[in-house]
Structure 1
Amino acid sequence: MDQLSAGVPVAIHLETHIKQDDDVSDYRLDADGQLVQMGENLYLRYLEPNEETQEKTPVTMKFTPDGEVHLTRNGEAELRLHFISGKRVTARYRTPYGIMPIETVTPLLETSFQERPFSGHVKIDYLLYAGEQLVGNYKIRLQFTA
């Protein structure tokens, strides 16, 4: 794991399933990214393409030793989600119009990492709330390999 402190290129496969009211959508992404270890935390970074604007949004997933996951998207709107298994957690969504308080509830959070070759599997099922209003039900499935 020593080489991780300098960063290791990884191939990322991401699938997201989104259910908002009666709308259901699936999103798939295969991208190159980088895995870095800083202290006891692992950081997975990649660029997410936006098909409408042709711009790329930087995305970072932070994995802590106690199993928490933090997801940050730094686009025109900044999204910071925090996942703790079985808990309701305050998150943040900063838009050009101001900060919107949001919360996540995470009924499923599984992470597993292997050393040779270095790879990982992440499963996150979460509910996103704005106040008491349910915004959507999300499922993230992520795999990466060095």
Structure 2
Amino acid sequence: MENNSVNVNVELNMETLQAGEITHTKIVEPGKFTKIGKSMYLRFDESLDNNDKASILVKVGDDGEIHLKRVAKSTNLASLLYFTHKKHNSGHLQTEYGVLPLGTFTNDSVVEVINKPLSGKINIDYDLIYDNNIVGNYKFRLIFSA
């Protein structure tokens, strides 16, 4: 898989609305873009406190479904979320205490990739759902370029 990987610069901006409070997160990191068949993979790390890192993998399937996997070994947290335009999906959060089932509803999603020079964006607006309740509204804005 690494043989056809391209080094890219990744910028991820997240806006979260939870309990009436908006928070912003910005991640700027080097990453790798890989295409296998019609699926695309984007890997990068998120720098955490105490020089720790979380590994992030974004997969865009040939059907347009987006998978978002985040693993932070230092905090024993791993999440896997799925996004399909205007649909509900099931995912989960793995904690040291067990697995929490999480759902998403994708209000909007856009994936654009330009091959020469390689660049693109992945935008997802979604609701995060736990136990049939919306626990937050998220705006995920990722851009990358070689």
TM-score bracket for the superposition, by shorter chain length = over 0.9
Match of 1:37 in 2: 35
Give, in whole Å, the separation in 1 of the partners of 2:3 and 2:91.
Answer: 28
Secondary structure class of the residue paired with 1:139: strand
Give, in whole Å, the separation in 1 of the partners of 2:105 and 2:20.
Answer: 20
Match of 1:130 in 2: 130
The alpha-carbon deviation at position 122 of structure 1 amounts to 1.1
Structure 1 moving runs of 4+ over 3 Å = none
The TM-score, its normalising length taken from structure 2, stands at 0.93
- What is the Cα-based RMSD across aligned positions, in Å? 1.5
Give, in whole Å, the separation in 2 of the partners of 1:107 and 1:137.
Answer: 10
The TM-score, its normalising length taken from structure 1, stands at 0.93
Give, in whole Å, the separation in 2 of the partners of 1:18 and 1:122.
Answer: 17
Seen in structure 2, the aligned counterparts of structure 1 residues 107 and 7 have a Cα distance that, compared at 3 Å, is same
Unaligned runs of 5+ in 1: none
Amino acid at match of 1:26: H
Match of 2:7 in 1: 9
Aligned residues: 143
Structure 1 residue 59 corresponds to structure 2 residue 40: no
Alpha-carbon displacement from aligned partner over 1:45-102 (angstroms, at most 9, x marks no partner): 0010112x32001100001122110000011211000000000111111100000011
Match of 2:66 in 1: 69
The alpha-carbon deviation at position 131 of structure 1 amounts to 1.2
The alpha-carbon deviation at position 27 of structure 1 amounts to 0.6
Give, in whole Å, the separation in 2 of the partners of 1:105 and 1:14.
Answer: 20
Alignment identity in percent? 30
The alpha-carbon deviation at position 38 of structure 1 amounts to 2.0
